[in-house]
Amino acid sequence: MNFEVQTLRWYIAVAEELHFARAAKSLNIARTTLSAAVIELETELGYPLFVRGASPTQLTEDGIQFLSTARVLVDEEERRVAEEAALRASQLHTLTVGYTEGVTPTKWVRIWAERFPEIAIDLVPSTPDTQLSLLREGAVDVAFVRLPVDRDGLSVIGLYEEVPVVVVPKDHPVAAFDRISVSDLSDEHLLHDLDEVPEWTAIASEVADGTRLALPPIESTSELVEYVAAGLGIAIVPQSIARLHARKDLVYRPVDGVAGSPIAIAWPSQETTDNVEEFVGIVRGRSVRSSRGTPTAPDKTKKPRPTKPAKKVQRPATPRSKRSRR
């Protein structure tokens, strides 16, 4: 059974005062309004809360038991409201931004700090394997992701496309060129799953003649780079990742004929907060003049939203008096 929180508070006031007039005065409402609310509550419960005709006002046994229940329900509701308010406050004053490997969000974070110094940004690194789970689990508010991604439930805006490069040992023949075509790599052993670089797979000699060896277990880009340095094969990765893992014994060269790696900004569509909108605007180049303003400040030009009715709470089962009747 559900009850209006306001009605429960009114009932508690009468039960504690044991006087309708004084309770109504303390609540700053009309006595008739208070009496009507109590009668409606008794009707909903199916039993009287106050002894009829008693002077001074007296609680029935059911009324005494329900008073304890009402206090618990009101306390739970107040705690819930406080927790939600605290959560909203923390979200307003912190924006959590995820960024996949190879993305450097420094410029946008700096601009954010200049425009909204009262709202901190927490940066959370990710990989193509973890970038979506961080978003869907709520670990980040917004994230820079490497496409493709499952867009279900997400808002996704493309930003730019990275150039693919081949990473080879410093003494590899590819190192002599400024850039290379994917067709020139057809006789190489690529340390990726075949579906990761379909352009190479379509022309690879080892795929065509069935001599391709199984890949070693590769858990990270760092491990991939180690295998390349050991001469076990080559890798084709976005240029930013090659730069991130640059080392003196390796070189990287742009590869023609391989699709670029798109970078996008994404966030859960149902969690499009003012903070998220402001950050996306900064990333897309919104100027200070076109900024929506401080995320926490209300827009006074908008009409106020209609007030929602008071939330009802679920009443737990309470013991019934043998004399109570429904």
For the chain, percent helix, then strand, then coil, each to nearest 5?
A: 40, 20, 40
- The string of DSSP letters for 263-309 reads EEEEEEGGG--HHHHHHHHHHTT--TTTS---TTS--TTSPPPPPPP
**Type and span of the H or E element at 194:** none
- The 10 Å CB-count burial string (b at 16+, else e) for 298-321 is eeeeeeeeeeeeeeebebeeeeee
Residues with Cβ within 8 Å of 116's Cβ and at least 6 positions away in sequence, in order, are 278, 294, 295
Task: Give the 3-state secondary structure of residue 142.
Answer: strand
Q: Is the pLDDT of residue 29 over 80?
A: yes
CA 129 distance to own-chain centroid: 17
Averaged over 116-138, what is the pLDDT?
Answer: 93
Query: Which tokens hold the place of 303?
Result: 């009409």
Averaged over 182-189, what is the pLDDT?
Answer: 97
Predicted pLDDT of residue 98: 97
CA dihedral of residues 136, 140, 142, 143 (deg, nearest 10): -90
CB 30 within 8 A of CB 24: yes
Predicted pLDDT of residue 206: 96
Q: Which domains does the chain have, with CATH numbers?
A: 2-90 (1.10.10.10), 93-161+262-283 (3.40.190.10), 164-259 (3.40.190.10)
* Cα(5)–Cα(41) distance, integer angstroms: 11
The model's pTM: 0.60
* Cα(122)–Cα(145) distance, integer angstroms: 16
Query: Which tokens hold the place of 278?
Result: 């402001």
Q: Is the pLDDT of residue 39 over 70?
A: yes
The residue that leads in pLDDT, 142 or 90, is 142
Q: What is the pLDDT of residues 300-326, one digit of tens each?
A: 334 444 444 444 555 544 444 443 333
Q: What is the pLDDT of residues 190-249, one digit of tens each?
A: 999 999 999 999 999 999 999 999 999 999 999 999 999 999 999 999 999 999 999 999
Predicted pLDDT of residue 184: 96
* Cα(42)–Cα(29) distance, integer angstroms: 19
HEC-encoded secondary structure of 302-315: CCCCCCCCCCEEEC
CB 144 within 8 A of CB 267: no
Q: What is the pLDDT of residues 246-278, one digit of tens each?
A: 999 999 999 999 999 999 999 999 999 999 999
E strands, the chain, are 2-4, 94-100, 120-126, 142-146, 154-162, 164-169, 180-181, 235-238, 250-256, 261-268, 312-314
Residues with Cβ within 8 Å of 91's Cβ and at least 6 positions away in sequence, in order, are 141, 273, 275
Q: pLDDT class for 290, splitting at 50, 70, 90?
A: low
CA-based torsion, 141, 146, 149, 154: positive or negative: positive
Peptide bond into 56 cis (omega under 30): yes
